[in-house]
Structure 1
């Protein structure tokens, strides 16, 4: 097992380079990254940045943010092993600098919490931090992994295929005595539950089911626990080498503070510890405002309960002003998401000359035949009663499925880019709701 004590920076006469690693969908991408990861971690090879086989726009944005294979831009420090592009769910990706020491510290702390004698099933894209950390943990522990055929969007994620991958991995675990672990996003978990017994039994086979990359709704957690699924909610980001808080409890060495205090009052979450990023690729301006006195200043708001467990309440940057009233869009979204007729929801704001901003809800229904007018009235009533009239969505747009990034997060940037067109359609028909046939629908 590789440890942080055995991994050092190899002296070199030339600055260490940063190499791009092509990560296509499927097994080939996982193998490409796995092959490059070891030399990057030990320092015998260049630092690496995974480049997915996505659209040219996505690839170009990652290359622009990270500038690999460019001798004019050597890596900031020889200690850096990996540069990970942030998801860009609301803007331009940033290249996060992760050292061998930080990645190893994360894997070691995770292993102390959950065990190192494990076998992982890889389901998440390995150019994103959640998928990368599965491979990092396997490398640090010297443990094997299985690859689900859907990885990286190689094919749609479905319960039958996932169950087959799980059974194969479980048989091997039974033979060599390893525990079985998987990292999933909430959308994947919901699809497994909706598939019925096949998906539920697959989830029940795991010793650890990590749920992360996006907020995990409490009703989903309740259902999983009713079925006996060993689900663990992960909180973290690229800047913290992935998950650094699990079920509210920080990993060893990770410190959580709220605002300028460490008390129980809600506040801005800041994080420090050995898992921290060394900063952003070629962005000292961002480093100066994001990493303050050795702490990562997140854009999340949280509170600590009586047991010292962290509860993430929402984001600082989702607060908008509606007619002079501050409205937290995450709070609106949480109320809408709990409605039993709603499959998924994203609440954004649209500009308004009179009110400044207005909330708008993009919704995927469980049943497309739902009476939308009645649903909207129920939503408005619930929101008005709980957080005030200013927070009620003025516009509703319905879709079969919300657009998703390959990281498992809702593609809010795409929704924002099309929102003005949907609002125009709504106003033209004097109807607060519109149906969006597809994300490219602009009629």
Structure 2
């Protein structure tokens, strides 16, 4: 079974029902089936062969969905470029993937020449005009689509054929192309259907992350149950609330930084969302204090946390709505990433790949049916990541006696200070308890006395601007020897294209103010 089979089945089952909506643009299942068929035929007619890579650089729109489905039907491999990438980053991925075709939106016209540099393998170039004049640099998307036949291309596609190269966010170096098969994509979809739905035909999910990455995994399971994807071109916190109310959205998918911005919208607590049953957050840890605020505003029965990685997408563990109650017997579970999905096995191991003692800290390793096949053109790094059928996540964590997974930070981010192992997540959670902290990130920096010093980079709320020394005293009281030795205040924390805090980019030069806590080391 492959993704294309499922898409054809959905069109037969749900026909004229609305499958996707983006602003004033609406597509039924039948329309998306025909348009993706036409695109698939047009791509194959221009000489692309089974397994060829096609790079796409598009702002969120229904064209993203049409193109993804067309590539699946044609047996071609999607290489989605995040809209927030710089031209240099996009150029690297196009070259590394050996893409033979590039499809881009008009909003990237100014950057596209740089992306095409030193890429002689790009034989086909298609531009989605989005209402602007057609560029001489590429064929017009709509005319190209119309040239293809409306029938299914009928390609023979195996479950182990590549569906996409999903490039990692590259927080610690060059991004790697994660090879995900049709099998992996289908298992992600089935996992999501099993735990979060949709529960009924016609349910709507609101997607605001780039479809090239996290949000894109939610389209297929919506389709498989006759649901509708409501797509935002870009994230706006007030617009999220408006669309959720107007379209009577049942499910919202976002990342923690987005949820925190929504909580700062004036009057958010008064917004009525009677149909909303799940607000799914994931992709990075959610600090405890903002999570408690979200529970107060939206209710514990709506919040759902998911944990995943590019190498095993979206569905590794889940903290269900019923586990977000502040009055539950084990409130510390709010700090966890939930328990493994039913299809996932998870362990915590030491540096010798041996299981640590129950409750002990080590590297999280796992296996499941939606794991990657490896890294594109990187056999050594593949061998390093995959061991005896298990994926080494590089996430440090522990699993309690009830199976809840607690993530403590990346393996290369653990701080060793004065002989003690200090988890950045533990310090960050305490900093977020201070009323003046809007965002926080903790890293280790070289220190002649302690080996590494705990250093915090924080964004203060406007109401606490200039009051960083309060935070220094607070952290000293709450954290003892784990307290930050320095606190840098910044106007904002650097984030990568996926919206995650980019700790490798944190530098003292970015700071507005540096507060030293050396006098409190003893």
Q: Same fold (TM over 0.5)?
A: yes
Match for residue 125 of structure 1 among 206, 210, 213:
210
Counterpart secondary structure, 2:430 = helix
CA-atom RMSD, angstroms?
3.2
Match of 2:237 in 1: 158
How many residues align? The count is 395
1:208, distance to aligned residue in structure 2 (A): 1.2
Match of 1:335 in 2: 430
Match of 1:59 in 2: 90
Match of 1:20 in 2: 55
Contact 2:6 2:224 in 1 (8 A): no
Cα gap change, 1:291/1:204 in structure 2, threshold over 3 Å: closer, same or farther? farther
User: Are positions 1:82 and 2:177 aligned together?
Assistant: no
Give distance in 1, aligned partners of 2:413 and 2:484: 14
Per-residue CA shift, 1:24-75, capped at 9, x if unaligned? Answer: 3xxxx33232112223334x241111113432233234335434228989xx
Match for residue 439 of structure 2 among 327, 330, 344:
344
User: Are positions 1:189 and 2:256 aligned together?
Assistant: no
1:268, distance to aligned residue in structure 2 (A): 1.8
Contact 1:236 1:244 in 2 (8 A): yes
1:422, distance to aligned residue in structure 2 (A): 5.9
Match of 1:258 in 2: 348
Give distance in 2, aligned partners of 1:264 and 1:256: 13
Contact 1:33 1:50 in 2 (8 A): no
1:189, distance to aligned residue in structure 2 (A): 1.3
Per-residue CA shift, 1:273-304, capped at 9, x if unaligned? Answer: 11111111111111101111111111122333
1:364, distance to aligned residue in structure 2 (A): 0.8
Match of 1:437 in 2: none
Contact 1:91 1:413 in 2 (8 A): no
User: Are positions 1:244 and 2:244 aligned together?
Assistant: no
1:15, distance to aligned residue in structure 2 (A): 5.4
Contact 1:38 1:139 in 2 (8 A): no
1:287-298, aligned counterparts within 5 Å? Answer: 287-298=382-393
1:166, distance to aligned residue in structure 2 (A): 1.0
Cα gap change, 1:71/1:263 in structure 2, threshold over 3 Å: closer, same or farther? farther
Cα gap change, 1:324/1:304 in structure 2, threshold over 3 Å: closer, same or farther? closer
Per-residue CA shift, 1:333-373, capped at 9, x if unaligned? Answer: 22222222211101122223444322221111122435222
1:261, distance to aligned residue in structure 2 (A): 3.4
1:226-237, aligned counterparts within 5 Å? Answer: 226-227=296-297, 228=299, 230-237=302-309
Cα gap change, 1:423/1:195 in structure 2, threshold over 3 Å: closer, same or farther? closer
Counterpart secondary structure, 2:71 = helix
Match of 1:283 in 2: 378
Match of 1:154 in 2: none
Counterpart secondary structure, 2:409 = strand
1:158, distance to aligned residue in structure 2 (A): 2.4
Unaligned runs of 5+ in 1: 8-12, 152-156, 174-179, 434-443
